[in-house]
A and B are shown apart, each in its own frame.
Chain A
Amino acid sequence: MEYFLNDEEKALKEKVRKVAEEIILPARDELDRNAEFPKSIIQKMAEEGLLRIFIPKEYGGTGARIMDMAIACEEVARVCAGVATAYAVGALGSGPIIYFASEEQKRRYLPKIASGELLCAFGLTEAQAGSDVANIQTTARREGDYYILNGVKQFISNGSIADVYVVLASTDKSRGARGISAFIVEKGMPGFEFGKHENKLGIRTSTTTELVFSDCRVPKENLMGKEGMGFIYTMRNFDRARPGVGAIGLGIAQGAYEQVLKFAAAKNLLGNQYIQRKIADMATEIEAARALIYASARSIDSGIKNTTKPASFSKLFPSDIAMKVTLEAIEIMGPYGLLREYNIEKMLRDAKITQIYEGTNQIQRGQIALEIIREAGYRKE
């Protein structure tokens, strides 16, 4: 379909596709098998300037447009959603710095994140704070010129690999969500270690790790924005990052669909109307997902005030489509679909995470519903 991408967007799409096919494709199977972080690939992507798209122009980036992120994430995930996750964390981790950090903090970190010299990550989730973000137990206690962090972050993408972490911790437990603050923590700060590495169903090349803070001393200059604003920063950051997750789902669906089409042709199934029906439905749903992501991205980029609904739309639907298309793909390919060498079973394993991370699809539905109720002027109770 014609989406009237501008010249830069078209060039970006082509460039990412080239990198994905030439560099990621030959490596993806082994990366998944060994659950090994794609360090050299991310480095190569940085050299190609692909990490710059997450960063504003003033800090060495190309504009931090959601549309660019959507285009790039789809193309990477079309080949490997594990690499796409490792890549997209660059946006999730840099987002809070871009929008809420001080000028000095921005100057210190963003140009190096743009160039790939520093990798970033976002440390929010804890054992008891999954969907219930505000329930984080990690604390930050002010002591002279430092904040002392204690607690354990769980399921942190790019944990142990990244150099810079935006970490959420409570500076005032009595205030609940309004007592949460955001800090920039660097790898190597005393008292900051890495715990368990998770063994996952899919996106196995993306590293998922615990961050362990034991009396970790963080200079007070590394507080981001104001104390107590961490929860709000987090929600706004999610609004900007979620279209990227949707785009990863979209990329998986697109990759799976192409694989199925190739398979059906090779097995002479294309004359079968049962198969034609499935392929037609897949293509339609994928196109609908893409149109929704692009529309959401364009409206967020246009500067609309309330971004929650488009962000949740663009995560919810494409991730559900990723799951639907990959499950259907296995059905069409039958026993072949179960085998690694046919490149579908990995896409199915990868697809499942897109319904979960950066807010489960139930959380997305809840947010959409609440926005609708609020906009319509009704009340929940």
Chain B
Amino acid sequence: MELSKEAILLQNEIRKFAREVIAQKVDEFDKQGVFPEEDLKKISELGIFGACIPETYGGFTLDTISLLVCIEEISRVSPSIALVLIAHNILFSFPISKFGSEEQKKKYLIRASTGETIGGYAEFATNELKIQEEDDCYIISGRNEILLNGVANGPFVIFFENKDGFDVLIIDDSVNGVIRNRKENIIGMHSGGITEVVFENTRIRKQNRIGGGGAGKIIMEEVKSLANLGFSALNLGICEGSMENAIKYARERVQFGEPIINFGMVREMIAEMIIKIEAMRLLIYDAGISRDTNKDFLRTAAIARYFSNQSVAEITTNAIQVYGGYGYMKDYPVERYFRDAQVSRVLCSSNVENKEFILQKTI
């Protein structure tokens, strides 16, 4: 499976940028929990913040494969930054671009396309959000542990389930009664700008609902499927970053008089990484190409997500194993990849849901 010339050019550009710019402070930012605003500003100059936004609103609607390649290349170096891009592009901009009203598009997409505002996302499980109606407003109360890009203080969308099914609301950045607290108690993605969010009788105008009239389920399915691909690319980048480091270390580390890469049990761990990364990439690109050629991609996206969730857990665990005791210390990046992988493999859809979805689409 080959990428287009344009996609390869973009891949090279992003790879270079990630390695030369993002890599410099990635470990420091992780340790201190810094939201990498400077890096994000530079990324916005590359135009990636408008990747899921039509030209009319300042974006350029990147094809799926190119978007996934960007996420993958950034994730190889900084999974946290890749997560910021998934939340902004796929979970925030995409549902507004595709299902939003003209007013919503004008209000949110134009400033999102330049990265002037970074959009966020939170998802409420059944009964986690109380919602009442009053005149032209919804009054919502509830707490969610994970608001992606919460630190950026931009607008965000919330997905929730109510009696009529799924629903999507845009929460404007100017709304009162929204409390965001920095989330320090999460295992990974410490530079990802995750906060918790609390609504206390927060009034949201009804016109901030996306879709409406039972469209929630369709929006949900499309957004989640594209998110499945985004998170698969995030997983893929984490796997590649982990493997690169493991190979480098295994070549340098000498025990029993030779580099440990000479030992069969180390070789086997690395060979398994190669196999799984290759299989993962094929699944992800295949689903991406299906979407770009207007074919059904939902099932393949779920399969890619399932497989990459499994693989990212295994590969990051074994990357630490290749390093031995050193891998367990915060001085080496495999420790960070391992923590970030846990976040990457559970957000937005679980593998139980993915299996069920794959089964339903198949039978």
Contact = CB atoms under 8 A, between A and B. Distances in A.
B106 interface: no
B330 interface: yes
Contacts of A154: 325
Contacts, number: 105
B211 interface: no
Nearest to A327: B313
B338 A352 contact: yes
Interface residues on A, range: 35 or more
Nearest to B189: A338
Interface residues on B, range: 35 or more
A112 interface: no
B208 interface: no
A307 to B, nearest CB: 23
A323 interface: yes
A331 B350 contact: yes
A347 to B, nearest CB: 11
B352 A275 contact: yes
Interface stretch (B67-75, B213-221, B316-324): B316-324
A348 interface: yes
Contacts of A202: 328
Given A200-B330, A330-B342, A331-B350, A356 B325 contact: yes
Contacts of B338: 201, 352
Nearest to B352: A274
Nearest to B330: A199
Contacts of A141: none
B265 interface: yes
Interface stretch (B17-25, B32-40, B155-163, B180-188): B180-188
A130 B324 contact: yes
A348 B343 CA distance: 13
Contacts of A198: 329
B145 interface: yes
Interface in A72-131: 125, 128, 130-131
A19 to B, nearest CB: 27
Given A335-B146, A338-B186, A345-B187, A274 B355 contact: yes
A143 interface: no
Interface of B: 145-146, 183, 185-188, 254-256, 260, 263, 265-266, 309, 313, 317, 320-321, 324-331, 335, 338-339, 342-343, 345-347, 350-352, 355-356
Given A130-B255, A327-B317, A356-B328, 11 more contacts: A128-B254, A131-B324, A135-B255, A155-B325, A331-B346, A338-B188, A338-B343, A355-B317, A355-B321, A362-B265, A362-B266
10 contacts: A131-B256, A200-B329, A274-B355, A330-B346, A331-B309, A338-B146, A338-B186, A339-B187, A341-B185, A360-B324
